Amino acid sequence: MAFTHTVSYNFSDSGGPNQNFSATQSSDGQVNVSVTIAAAASNFAVVCPLTASAVKAMALWSDAAMTVVTKLAGVTKDTFTLTANKPLIWQFGFPNSCPITLNCDALAVTSTPGGVLNLYVLEDV
C-alpha cells in the first residue's frame, strides 16, 4: 500500500500576487506520531523507530515550544528545537538535506508549556 504526503505553500508579498507551491511524495511505509506532552515535561519518551536512509518525507510541528531529541539505545542522535506552529517540512528532492540524519528508536521531548507534538514520516520499507 502506498502512502502519500502533499505539502503546499502559499507565499504573498505586500502588493504582489500570491504564489502557490505544492510537492507530493509517496512511499510504501509511514511512521506517524501525535502525542500530548504535559506541561513541564522533561525527556518524555515516545517510541518512534526511524531508519534515516529510508526517510522520503517528514513534517514535524507542535503547538507549543518544544525540544525533540531522537535517540537510539538511549544515545542522542538529532535535536530539533520547535517554535509553536512553525513546522519543519522536508521531502525527497527538496534542495536541502533530510533533517533526520541518524537512525532512532525513540524521541525524548522537553516542553515547559506542554502541548501536542506531531511527526509524520514517509519511509521506503
> Which CATH architecture best describes the domain 28-123?
Sandwich (2.60)
Mean pLDDT of the chain: 96
In tens, the pLDDT along 61-87 reads 999 999 999 999 999 999 999 999 999
* pLDDT greater than 90 at residue 45: yes
Bridge partners of 104, per DSSP, are 50
- pTM of the predicted model, to two decimals? 0.93
Whether 63 contacts 117, CB under 8 Å: no
